[in-house]
Chains A and B, each alone.
Chain A
Amino acid sequence: MDLAKLDRVSAFEWHIAPRAGMHVPAVIYADEDLVGDMDDKVYEQVTNVARLPGIVTASYAMPDAHWGYGFPIGGVAAFDPAGGGVISAGGVGFDISCGVRTMLTGLTRTEIEAHKVELADALFAKVPAGVGSTGRIRLDPEQMDAMLAGGARWALSHGYGEPADLERIEEGGAMQGARPELVSPKAKTRQRDEMGTLGSGNHYLEVQEVAAVYDADTAAIFGLSLGGVVVSIHCGSRGLGHQIGTEYLRDMAIAADREGISLPDRELACAPINSPVGQRYLGAMRAGINCALANRQIIGHLTREVFATLFPQARLELLFDVSHNTCKVERHKVDGEPRDLYIHRKGATRAFGPGHSDLPDALRPFGQPVLIGGSMGTGSYVLAGTAASEARAFSSACHGAGRRMSRHQALKTWRGRQVVDDLAERGILVRSKSARGVAEEAPGAYKDVAAVVDASDAAGLARKVAKLIPLVCIKG
């Protein structure tokens, strides 16, 4: 992106003043190198979002922003229904409520090392991953609707997980306002065999070591200590979410065409929040959120079963479960006044600061854990929401590294087997059914997640707490 087109506010904040139909400015949080590396399409998309009706304060791009669909990936935007605000299926994405959950194991790397191969094999055998994989749970239509209404709470009531998990999941494990009856039979059919599956692409289950601690007090509250081992799971709402996204994007695009609404990009198709299509999407999308919460709850349970066999002394506690593809109603102060806004986060993580009423008691003084996934070879980060993050971007932070190379180019550059061998030499055991998938996900195909996290920290979006490096990685 051409820096000359931006107003530099600070080393980590860049503005684009409203022009040509923009209702609000666009704001990019990133350092000069990250902004310079961003695709020109990010400029186009972040300014297009600023042109949508009812947008409040600004259209934001996080430090990991890249070319998405209508919205940039790494985009955040708030809409006020009272001001004609809209809801956008593209602003949530196909993988509704894709997110990360991190579980503490209470084990150390030393304890893991002796059984690492067995652990990798057992997790790979237990957690279905990759194209065409199926879960062991089949839901009849009634159970499917109950799952879509109840999310992780539904999973818990069916024996997956522990009651204490719920307060460590956004929305207490169940997104209110879900309308399972607005999820099409096709979307439900697509989910029929996919409960408790990881998916493919950049989704993973990793056993990770805490390799660095930046904020000792918060890390202690989060249960993270140097050399400690955690498990992180990155996945979403599987086929059901993809189908909801597909169908409502179409509905919104056709409705916009019919009503003569001129959109700068058809992918920005959206509907007024207070319209029949908007309300239908909201109900279906919330059901999609519950599907993702249930899915990660089930995979968390499968993970616990594996650890119970190999490490009977271990007790896996949930640190947190946070999504990065959502639209949620949140109360935020705008010009000093609290307003209920529809916050779209497309490839951006919610980052509530200290004192937020939605946080469980134990975490409230320290801020919400913000879980940032990296590539197989680099590592992931745990951050915490800051007091300043609400004013920055409605309490939002980055979500991951972002690709720097296309899948096609990655396939031409690496061989899956070689990637697995190279990582094994570094002590990282990769298990995947797909050599091609591993090559496409090679660590070198991703940007430097550390730079993205440092920029989020420096911009005040969230503060760094700990770094996690992979020991075992189950890929789709």
Chain B
Amino acid sequence: MCAKIVRLESPEPRAAPPAKSWEHFPHGADVGVRGLGPTREAAFEQAAYALTAALVEPERVEPKDEIEIVCEAPNDELLLVDWLNAIIYEMATRRTLFGRYAVRIEGEKLYGRAWGEPIDIARHEPGVEIKGATYTALRVAQEANGRWVAQCVVDV
């Protein structure tokens, strides 16, 4: 499960967001989020950008405020779902959108940071609220070419 903590074990903020390496894939009523990257961490970060993009254009979100997220799960796939669900929870309870992410994974633990700002309906024009990350089309794996993929469907 994920919990916010005050320890500063997560990676340092980046000056600029990494290049886009995420996509949405179709799922009947909902949205599939897929992050790709040279490392598992990068794929998790990109999956989080895809999550943000399911309701708002990420570049519209100013990375003003920072939160920390720590998750622990027995395998990579549950860890991805926990990471995305933690972001969904923070978005919902803080009424905040996040536009930048950083992830470090050690063993079964994920140390993440998210930067964002309170929702501004007029400026962000958010679409649909996200209810939760699901186990549907859930996959975290390193492909033959070495690239990592982290994906699942989110219920909206």
Contacts and interface: CB of A to CB of B under 8 A. Distances in A.
B31 interface: yes
A201 B126 contact: no
Interface stretch (A152-160, A287-295, A403-411): A403-411
A63 interface: no
B26 A406 contact: yes
A190 interface: yes
B78 A253 contact: yes
A199 B136 CA distance: 23
Interface in A435-449: 435-437, 439-440
Contacts of B133: 246
A405 to B, nearest CB: 9
Nearest to A45: B136
Contacts of A69: 134-136, 153, 155
Contacts of A409: 26
A68 B132 CA distance: 13
Interface stretch (B61-69, B88-96, B105-113, B140-148): B88-96
A383 B95 CA distance: 38
B129 A199 contact: yes
A68 B126 contact: no
Contacts of A433: 121
A109 interface: no
A147 to B, nearest CB: 18
Contacts of A436: 125-127
Nearest to A438: B127
Contacts of A278: none
B129 A250 contact: no
Interface in B25-42: 26-31
A368 interface: no
Interface string B72-99: 0010011001100100110011010000
Contact of A437 (B127, B153, B155): B127
B131 A132 contact: no
A422 interface: no
Interface residues of A, number: 54
Interface string A149-190: 000000000000000000000000000000000000010011
Interface string A56-69: 00000000001111
Contacts of B138: 266
Interface string A176-215: 0000000000100110110000011110000000000000
Nearest to B57: A436
Interface in A60-98: 66-70, 73, 90, 93-95
A434 interface: yes
Contacts of A239: 92-93
B24 interface: yes
Interface in A211-239: 239
Contact of A407 (B82, B125, B153, B156): B156
A192 B92 CA distance: 10
B131 A407 contact: no
Contacts of A407: 30-31, 54, 127-128, 156
Contacts of A118: none
Contacts of B153: 69
A95 B131 contact: yes
A402 B29 CA distance: 7
B28 to A, nearest CB: 4
Given A192-B93, A440-B127, A408 B28 contact: no
A445 to B, nearest CB: 10
Given A69-B155, A131-B119, A254-B74, A406 B27 contact: yes
B93 A190 contact: yes
14 contacts: A66-B29, A67-B29, A68-B28, A68-B29, A93-B155, A94-B131, A186-B89, A242-B88, A246-B88, A406-B27, A407-B156, A408-B31, A434-B127, A476-B128
Given A132-B95, A243-B132, 13 more contacts: A68-B136, A73-B28, A90-B134, A94-B131, A94-B132, A132-B121, A246-B88, A250-B1, A266-B77, A402-B29, A407-B127, A411-B127, A434-B125
